Amino acid sequence: MIVVDGLRKSIRNGARTVDILRGLDFSVPRGEFVAIMGASGSGKSTLLGLLAGLDTPSAGNVSLNGTAISYLPEDRLAQVRGKTVGFVFQSYQLIPTLTALENVLLPHELNADSDADGLPRARQLLTSVGLGDRMDHYPVQLSGGEQQRVALARAFVLHPPIVLADEPTGNLDTTNGAHVLQLLLELNRSEGTTLVLVTHDPMLADYATRRIVLRDGLIVSDERSPARPEPALSASAAVPVGG
C-alpha cells in the first residue's frame, strides 16, 4: 500500500527554483499494477525515486505500508528500502564484481535478519527467469536482456510488497523487452506485489490495471482499466539473445 500525500519536489538551481513535482496525491492499494506515463521531463523518474525513498521530497509525504518514509534518517531508510521495495533500473545496475547468483543474493545478505538461507530462493528465482545455467556468470558475461532478468530476480528475492521499475525495458530490443516484461508481470502476480512501472510505451501500459499520466509535475489523468492479458511470447525470446 503506497500513500502519496501532497508530494512536492523542487530543485534550486542557482537563483532559480525548478518545480519538478508540484503536489501529487494518490494511493496505490496492495497488489495493484500502476503504469506511470508522461512526456520526457514530466517528473516520472523523480516520482519513482521519491516512492523508493531514494530522495527527500521538498514537501508532502510518502508512506509505504503505513510507514512514513520521506523524512527518515538515511540508514533507517535503507532498511525500509531493503525490506519493502524492489527496484528495477533502466540500466540494470548489477554489481559488476559479483556473479549473477551473488547479485541476486545481495538484498538477502544486506537485509535479512532471519537466518533463513537465501540461496535456494535466489537459485529458484534465477531459474524462473531462465538463467539457471548462468548463475556463476559475471554481469559483463551476460547480455542486456539477461542482466535485466538478473535484476528482476534481485528485486524480488526478499518478497518485497512493492516493486518499482523505471523503464525496465528501455534499453532492450522488442523481443527481449517483451520477455523481461512478461517475467516481471509473472513475478508480480505470483508474489502478489504492488507494481509501479514507469514507461513511455502505451502498449506496455495497457497491461497495467491503472494508468497515471504526469505533465509538468502534475497528474493530468489517473484511470483504471481492465488489464490486458500478458504479452504473447515468441519461442525464440526465451533463448538468451545478443550475448
Ligand X SMILES: Nc1ncnc2c1ncn2[C@@H]1O[C@H](COP(=O)(O)OP(=O)(O)OP(=O)(O)O)[C@@H](O)[C@H]1O
Among the listed residues 42, 70, 99, 147, the single contact to ligand X using CB under 6 A? 42
Min separation Cβ 141 and ligand X, Å: 29
- Contact between 110 and another protein (CB under 8 A)? yes
Residue 14 contacts another protein per CB under 8 A: no
236 binds, among ligand X, another protein, Mg ion, none (CB under 5 to 8 A by kind): none
What x-and-dash track marks residues 19-48 binding another protein by CB under 8 A? Answer: ---------------------------x--
42 binds Mg ion (CB under 5 A): no
Q: Which grid cell is 172?
A: 532492450
The answer to whether 45 contacts Mg ion (rule: CB under 5 A) is yes
Find where cell 547479485 sits.
Answer: 103
CB 209 within 8 A of CB 177: no
What's the CA gap between 136 and 77, in Å, rounded? 31
Binding range to another protein, per CB under 8 A, among 81-89, 189-197, 213-221, 231-239: 81-89
List, in order, residues 6 or more apart from 158 with CB less than 8 Å away. 82, 83, 86, 107, 108, 111, 112
Q: What is the rounded CA–CA span in Å between residue 80 and residue 159? A: 13
Strand partners of residue 213: 37, 221
The distance of closest approach from Cβ of residue 30 to another protein in the complex, given in angstroms and rounded to an integer, is 20
Q: How far apart are alpha carbons 48 and 87 in whole angstroms? A: 9
Given the rule CB under 6 A, which residues bind ligand X? Answer: 11, 13, 18, 20, 38, 40-46
Given the rule CB under 5 A, which residues bind Mg ion? Answer: 45
